[in-house]
Amino acid sequence: MALTSSIGADALRQPRSERSERMAERPARSPLSGVSWGAILAGAAGAAALSLILLILGTGLGLSAVSPWAQEGLGAQSFTVSTILWVTGTQLLAAALGGYLAGRLRGQWLDVQTDEIYFRDTAHGFLAWAMATLATAALLSATIASIVGGGVQAGAGVAKAGADMAPTAYVVDSLLRPSANATVVTTAADREAARTEVTGIFMNTLRTGALPAEDQRYLSQLVAQRTGVSEAEATQRVSQSHARAQAALRTDETTAREAADKARKASAYASLWLFIALLSGAFIASWAATFGGRQRDH
């Protein structure tokens, strides 16, 4: 009976002893977190600083159309191949530096499998790139807004141009120019008042495209009084000046629409290439972090 009890006790103790041995063979679990924020912040700071330095250098060399200074932005004709290469190269170099620092400076994980280490290093590089991108975007918010919103602003400018565009001052001045034999004497205030009145009537009729008969008669009388010409000649002057003002308005509107179309295309073109550059930077930063992590562990 005692022998049976002893055998049973040994059988019960055996599994616990084996489990204890297996637990003793395992390395102690690392107290470090899976995310090394210090390494990530260091990599992000390095990437943001290098990106800003290269961007300023590119602006000084004329290779970058994207300026780091306020009120400086993208021109419709300035986003060339050299600009694309410089912006993309800047992003890749800065992302590689940030990812490498994030991977090299992170804490060592002793009890983590190789696949998990690879994933964590990749995540560290991506997070460093993301924080550097956000920091750079905050610093260059005015420039980025001008690039992304350039097309919208250009469209709004065209819509406003049609409402605000006045006939050229030369057209109005030529209409009120006295004849060679005129003996009319006017003051500067009278001439300015007449110019303002003619401009107001022209602006009111340019939108409709026709000059009402009553406005035609009034302007003819006004021009005849101010210039000393006959009323028939004044009527001819008014008709010709109104036609010239309409032609100038159409020309200005066409020019403004062409400029807006170029601005929209440049904005879309720049946004597309910046997206490609940033996406490439995210990939390079993730890869560089795994490279730096391998050097850290070996």
Q: Which alpha helices (H) appear in 165-187, and where do they start and end?
A: 169-175
Angle between helices 37-61 and 81-104 (to 10 degrees): 160
Amino acid, single-letter form, for residue 259: A
- Residue 154 CB partners (closer than 8 Å, separation 6+): 259, 260, 261, 263, 264, 267
Token pair in block for residue 2: 């005692």
**CA neighbours within 13 Å on the CB side: how many for 17?**
6
* pTM of the predicted structure, to 2 decimals: 0.57
Amino acid, single-letter form, for residue 152: V
Q: Write down the pLDDT at residue 50.
A: 92
Rounded to 10 degrees, the C-alpha dihedral 149/150/152/154 comes to 160
Measured from the Cβ of residue 194, the count of other Cβ atoms closer than 10 Å reads: 19
Task: Return d(Cα 282, Cα 284) in angstroms, integer.
Answer: 6
Q: Token pair 């300023």 is at which residue?
A: 56
| Inter-residue contact 132 to 97 (CB < 8 Å) | no
In the three-class reduction of DSSP (H, G, I as helix; E, B as strand; rest coil), residue 126 is classed as helix
Task: Return d(Cα 249, Cα 258) in angstroms, integer.
Answer: 14
Q: What is the pLDDT along the chain (298 residues), one digit of tens a residue?
A: 444 444 444 444 445 555 445 444 444 455 556 788 999 999 999 999 998 888 888 877 776 555 444 444 444 445 567 778 888 899 999 999 999 999 999 888 777 888 888 999 999 999 999 999 998 888 776 555 555 554 444 444 444 444 444 556 778 888 888 877 766 667 778 778 888 888 888 877 776 777 888 888 888 888 888 888 888 888 888 888 888 888 887 887 788 888 777 777 777 777 788 889 899 999 999 999 999 988 888 7
Task: Name which of 145, 136, 122 is nearest 91 in CA terms.
Answer: 136
Q: Write down the pLDDT at residue 183.
A: 67
| Inter-residue contact 242 to 204 (CB < 8 Å) | no
Q: Which alpha helices (H) appear in the chain, and where do they start and end?
A: 2-25, 37-61, 81-104, 114-139, 141-148, 150-164, 169-175, 188-206, 213-227, 231-297
Q: Write down the pLDDT at residue 12.
A: 43
For the chain, which residues make up each domain, given as ranges?
36-151+268-297, 161-260
Task: Name which of 226, 230, 146 is nearest 193 in CA terms.
Answer: 226
